[in-house]
Structure 1
Amino acid sequence: MFTGLVEEVGAVLRIFPAGDVTEMEIRAPGISAGLCKGASVAVMGACLTVTALGRDSFTVEMMEETVRKTKLGRLKTNSPVNLERAMRLGGRLDGHLVTGHIDGICFLAEMGGQGKTRLATFTAERELTRMIVPKGSVALDGVSLTVIDSDPVRGLFSVGLIPETLRRTTLGTLAVKDPVNLETDLIAKYVRRFVLPAENDSRGGSTRGEITWETLRENGWI
């Protein structure tokens, strides 16, 4: 589990296939000394496991699903990456609960704003934007941000970027149409799963009915 507060912007040293996984070595002098084999690290928001350590670097493995479903498969040598070590249970939670499980990729549609702050608008699949609400939280490339506005019908949402975020993360270098790893709010996923009708199961039947006033009465809730 992570908080969405980036500790360091590292750099990809190399990416190479290793059997049925892809390995990536990352230069990170700021956090590598505090890592060990088996530790979890959020790389651009994706939770990965450390498999080897260098003097100021570490190596992680990526399954095919990770390479395909996130922007990590698009990284190259020298690509900058946001990094965060796993949070300590009992510590302060300055961002929000981030699992490191990427829901999909969104794309920068517009970067506006006045002065030192920026208003960034992103486009994403409507299935994802349905779980994004104003004043809620999202993690973009591993950065915890507060949603300013959301339009699920058009597949759009916007966040504000303060100067500190622009300086200390990769979000400050984004250009229009750039891909960004998106993790929606953890609580919203479960609420939507329990409230909305379940998708049909493999046999063609519904695994659970829609919650209505009638079903609430039948089960003694009202």
Structure 2
Amino acid sequence: MFTGLIEEMGTLRSVQRRGEAMILSISASEVLTDVKMGDSIAVNGVCLTVVDFDRSTFSVDVMPETYRLTNLHSIQPGSALNLERAMKVGGRFGGHLVQGHVDGTGTIRDRAVEANAVVYRIEPKDSELLRHVVQQGSVTLDGISLTVVSVDRSASQFTVSIIPHTLKETVLQHKHSGDTINIECDILGKYVDHLLSMREGQPASRSGGLTESVLRDNGFM
């Protein structure tokens, strides 16, 4: 489990590709201070397992499912990567509950400056992801815990606003219109939606989603 607060930006040193499987070697410093074999490190929001490391690099396996579902398949040596170690019990919880289980990818459609902030407009590849994106709720983009500013369901897009510190300390500084970004929706919304769907006797993927009427009918409003 992670919090979505990026600890540092690492650099992809090398990629070994075997079809849709990969081994990534990543240069880092902060996340290596107490690393052990088998530790979980979120790489651009993807929970991956450390399979090798030394004082300046660590390696992780990427399986075909992760290759297909995330933007890791498109990274090249020299790419900057958001890194976060798994959270410690008893530490400060500054972001939100992040599993590192990416729901899908999205395309940045616009990047606009607004006073001291930069607003990103995101279009998920699968518009169904928007059922779990709520205005003023939480969403994770490339492993970064962010607050949703607006949701435009007619255009299948949502926006987030980035403060200067977040822009400076994460790979968002390198992301522009047309780039692909990993999306993980809020875990609480996904589970509530799933449980309510099962209660109605429908698979979650075939239900009408988490709506105001559903919440009212099930005693949440």
Tell me the TM-score range normalised by the shorter chain. Answer: 0.7 to 0.9
Structure 1 position 101, deviation (Å): 0.1
Q: In 2, Cα distance between the equivalents of 1:151 and 1:20?
A: 34
User: Could you tell me the percent identity over the aligned residues?
Assistant: 38
Equivalent runs, 1:22-41 vs 2, <5 Å: 22-41=22-41
2:17 counterpart of 1:17:
yes
Q: Note if contact 2:194-2:204 (Cα within 8 Å) is conserved in structure 1.
A: no
Q: In 2, Cα distance between the equivalents of 1:216 and 1:46?
A: 34
Q: Note if contact 1:132-1:150 (Cα within 8 Å) is conserved in structure 2.
A: yes
- 2:99 aligned residue: 99
- 2:210 aligned residue: none
86 and 212 in structure 1: CA distance in 2 versus 1, 3 angstrom threshold = closer
- 2:143 aligned residue: 142
Tell me the TM-score normalized by structure 2: 0.87
- Secondary structure of 2:50's aligned partner: strand
Q: In 2, Cα distance between the equivalents of 1:153 and 1:95?
A: 29
Structure 1 position 119, deviation (Å): 1.1
Q: Note if contact 1:33-1:56 (Cα within 8 Å) is conserved in structure 2.
A: no
The C-alpha deviation readout for 1:137-180, integer Å capped at 9, x for no partner, is 00000000000111233211001100001100011121101000
Q: Note if contact 2:101-2:184 (Cα within 8 Å) is conserved in structure 1.
A: yes
Tell me the TM-score normalized by structure 1: 0.87
- Secondary structure of 1:22's aligned partner: strand
20 and 167 in structure 1: CA distance in 2 versus 1, 3 angstrom threshold = closer
Structure 1 position 212, deviation (Å): 7.5
195 and 121 in structure 1: CA distance in 2 versus 1, 3 angstrom threshold = same
**Could you tell me which amino acid in structure 1 is paired with residue 134 of structure 2?**
V
> Which structure has the greater CA radius of gyration?
1
Q: In 2, Cα distance between the equivalents of 1:185 and 1:200?
A: 16
Q: Note if contact 1:116-1:162 (Cα within 8 Å) is conserved in structure 2.
A: yes
Q: Note if contact 2:47-2:101 (Cα within 8 Å) is conserved in structure 1.
A: yes
The C-alpha deviation readout for 1:75-126, integer Å capped at 9, x for no partner, is 1101100000000012211000000000000111111133331111101122
Structure 1 position 200, deviation (Å): 9.2
Stretches of structure 1 lacking an aligned partner (at least 5 in a row): 218-222
Structure 1 position 194, deviation (Å): 2.3
Q: Note if contact 1:15-1:25 (Cα within 8 Å) is conserved in structure 2.
A: yes
The count of corresponding residues between Structure 1 and Structure 2 is 209
Structure 1 position 18, deviation (Å): 6.0
**Could you tell me which amino acid in structure 2 is paired with residue 199 of structure 1?**
P
- Secondary structure of 1:101's aligned partner: coil
The C-alpha deviation readout for 1:5-25, integer Å capped at 9, x for no partner, is 000100001010369842100
Equivalent runs, 1:72-111 vs 2, <5 Å: 72-111=72-111
